[in-house]
Copies of this chain bind each other. A is one copy, B any other.
Amino acid sequence: MAESDHPIHTPDQLLARYQAVRGHSVALAAGLSEEDCCAQSMPDASPVKWHLAHVTWFFEIFILEELEQDFRPFHPAFRMLFNSYYNGVGDRHARAQRGLLTRPALREVLAYRDNVDRRMAGLIGGVQAGRAARLAALVELGLHHEQQHQELLLTDVKHLFSMSPLYPALYSAAPSAGPPAFDPASDERKPLPPASSQPGWLCFEGGVSQMGHDGRGFGFDNEGPRHRVFVEPFMLARGLVSNARYLEFIAAGGYDDPRHWLSEGWEWRCSLGVHAPFYWRRDEAGGWNEFTLRGLQLLEPDAPVNHLSYYEADACARWCGARLPTEAEWEHAAALHEPSFQDLYGSRWQWTSSSYAPYPGYRPAGGAIGEYNGKFMVNQYVLRGSSCATPPGHARRSYRNFFPAGARWQFTGLRLAQSTRQSTPQVR
């Protein structure tokens, strides 16, 4: 993000936005006990308490430590305990042992948040003129970072609760009278509009296209630089693949026929014994339930299928006679015909066949903060759009989410693509 293009907030605006985003994190954890906030269900997931502390750490380490007068850390051990992966900051606590941090207690983490919020308010209100732009850029980055963790907090709690035979619910099962302004579990509380009932496709002629963040508003470094790509003609489905359609894939033996699968996907499916999406559970009568943040619910046929790995998305697409889109295709289509699509945002992240790689000319920032995105650009696949767990205002067209091909605990679904022209097989 070029600073010159950055809409400079007034200190008051910046502070208001800071407080809104920060407050939202705490609100998300409202229904959780100390124990819920402490447990870690797998190495890939982090405890809620750790999320709440780490996003605070981000502000303390990357902003206060640089810009605050007479900086003193809230607690000397926190620098290490809540460092996620920044080698430039120093040592860090082993990722798989975050759930063993019963101390500091949740209330101490909340006190840490309060302390940093107070100091940040002071800094925002009183920063030196020459540092204001840099401060604003860093705060903006920190807030988008916190929003990413807001979504992870929900996916990680969902995973934790799914491990319990009691299937706890984060949200009440009863539909609320009116939807809240922001509803992270919206797709879990009320039936979705039938997402896939119009199975139509939109066709694109392709050609040279621009992709990447255009410099207006915030974007992560991995969304730039904006550059040109050539897109061959293709079609993209208006809607997402629904549970009903996915049930057909299962009924047709999709999980039992290696011909639909990538070789590595087949090994994955066999070694883990996968035979349905991640949170689907059979009831005693053989019907399907789905574990949600409202607890175990009857599977809704019309809702978009959720919690697919890349391997499953790819296999189902193949079985449908289609394929995953590339991220260039997705962005091209979204730029041209956004209103024509359903569920581009706010429903399911959409796997693309594009591995997560730097755009031409990509250069990370210097220092530890440069580790934010760039060092993960191998063996991960890009997801586009956003999900029902993405905080409001966080998604955008150039956004690049990324996960390994076997990841299933994110809100991940499938939008089909096809090439308009296909090759002639070599041997026929």
Chain A residues near B (Cβ < 8 Å) = 1-3, 33-39, 41, 77, 80-81, 85, 87-88, 93, 97, 99-106, 134, 137-138, 141, 160, 163-166, 168, 208, 219-221, 224-225, 227-230, 232, 234, 258-259, 261-266, 310-311, 314, 323, 326, 353-355, 357-366, 369-371, 375-379, 405, 419-428
Contacts and interface: CB of A to CB of B under 8 A. Distances in A.
A37 B376 CA distance: 36
A96 to B, nearest CB: 11
Given A39-B39, A234-B360, A265-B378, A427 B134 contact: yes
Nearest to A218: B426
13 contacts: A100-B163, A102-B160, A208-B208, A220-B426, A221-B423, A262-B377, A263-B371, A264-B378, A265-B378, A311-B378, A361-B423, A363-B424, A365-B426
A405 B378 CA distance: 8
A166 B36 CA distance: 21
A421 B39 CA distance: 46
Given A134-B428, A259-B371, A369-B427, 9 more contacts: A2-B424, A33-B105, A36-B102, A102-B164, A137-B427, A224-B423, A361-B419, A365-B425, A378-B405
Interface-central residue, A102, A314, A375, by most chain B CB under 10 Å: A102
A365 B261 CA distance: 15
Contacts of A428: 3, 134, 365-366
A39 B100 contact: yes
B77 A375 contact: no
B370 A263 contact: no
A112 to B, nearest CB: 14
Contact of A427 (B138, B228, B264, B375): B138
B165 A77 contact: yes
Contact of A426 (B137, B228, B259, B420): B137
Contacts of A266: 87, 375
Contacts of A314: 378
A84 B208 CA distance: 41
Contacts of A427: 1, 134, 137-138, 141, 365, 369
Contacts of A38: 35, 38-39, 102
Contact of A87 (B33, B258, B265, B365): B258
A116 B228 CA distance: 52
Contacts of A88: 259
Closest 5 CB pairs of A and B: A355-B355, A365-B425, A35-B102, A232-B360, A225-B423
Given A353-B357, A364-B425, A423-B361, A165 B93 contact: yes
